[in-house]
Amino acid sequence: MYDFNQCKQCGKRSGSPKYKLKNMVLYACSDCDFHYTNVLDVLDDGETPSRTLSTTEHHYIESQLPQNSRQLSLNLDFVQQHIEVAGSTCLDIGCGAGVFPSLLHHAGAMVSAIEPQPLFRQFCHQRFDITPHHELIDSPYWQQGFAEHFDIVTLWDTLEHVNFPAETITALSRVIKPQGYLFLDTPSRDSFSYRLSEWSYRFSRGRNPLMLNSLYSAKRFGHKQIFTQQQLWQLVEKHGLTIIGRSALHRAKNKHVIVCQKK
């Protein structure tokens, strides 16, 4: 059982409950001001999917693909502005239904992917003929077998979902080649709507947290932490990665979209 008084960002025992939300508590660190929920996912043994994807589920995921594909095509353009994808080794962490690994594959990359949810892995296999791994990035499978292996690691809308983002960045940094790249996007806590939600919570004494209940979620694989730009930059730079750019293609103001290079 994790002690949430220990900040998930800076590791100091400076975290305390700040906002009581729907089925969860949002902690804040008095030292680094990191915000994180008291929710952690218990991960299944990914080797044994409890059931197979139903036709209805397959159709539902399929129906969501066009929307995902538009954003992920922009992400691919962003990657290609920095490195030639054809012939490169790529790892997409948290690939969901598998749209991005499929785009990378068609662009000529050698692609690996990680996805903890069995139903998405099944869909990806059926739809794109790509089989994502269930092993998480900090597992021996990657850490021992793929040290300094990848030219490109991508993390699209994933960092806010993982149990421990600092550990995820540490682990993924190890599998990137020297001079290799990390591309990621994640929601931003610097938005006006976030601050407004915090004010509203305080003035209503918790009755009206506005967006806080939709920005975070107690559901499985929901959002567990949202970064300010400064917190995100500190986190990646602490692990030997240098931020070399931000996307000009993305218009979403409430997101950080960055590229980092390993030293």
Q: Which helix (H) or strand (E) holds 240?
A: none
Which residues 34-93 are close enough to bind Zn ion by CB under 5 A?
34
166 contacts Zn ion (rule: CB under 5 A): no
CA pseudo-torsion sign 106, 107, 112, 117? negative
Identify the CA nearest to 258 among candidates 237, 86, 10: 237
Beta carbons within 8 Å of 31's beta carbon, 6+ residues apart: 7, 10, 12, 14
Which string of x and - marks every residue 15-44 that binds Zn ion (by CB under 5 A)? --------------x-xx-x----------
Phi-psi region of 179 (alpha: psi -120 to 50; beta: other; left: phi over 0): left
Residue 232 corresponds to which amino acid? Answer: L
CB nearer Zn ion, residue 135 or residue 167: 167
Smallest gap from residue 240 Cβ to Zn ion (A): 20
- Which one of the spans 6-14, 163-171, 200-208, 240-248 is the region binding Zn ion (CB under 5 A)? 6-14
155 contacts Zn ion (rule: CB under 5 A): no
Instruction: Give the residue carrying structure tokens 């050698």.
Output: 110
Q: From edge to edge, which strands make up the β-sheet containing 24-29?
A: 15-21, 24-29, 35-37, 225-226
CB nearer Zn ion, residue 32 or residue 211: 32
Which string of x and - marks every residue 191-220 that binds Zn ion (by CB under 5 A)? ------------------------------
How many CB atoms are located within 10 Å of the residue 129 CB? Answer: 10
CB nearer Zn ion, residue 197 or residue 231: 231
CB nearer Zn ion, residue 10 or residue 99: 10
State the number of binding residues for Zn ion (CB under 5 A): 7
10 contacts Zn ion (rule: CB under 5 A): yes
Burial class (CB in 10 A: 0-12, 13-18, 19+), 191: middle
Smallest gap from residue 9 Cβ to Zn ion (A): 5
CB nearer Zn ion, residue 29 or residue 236: 29
CB nearer Zn ion, residue 134 or residue 189: 189
**Could you tell me if 175 and 147 are in contact, meaning their C-beta atoms sit under 8 angstroms apart?**
yes
Binding residues for Zn ion, per CB under 5 A?
7, 9-10, 29, 31-32, 34
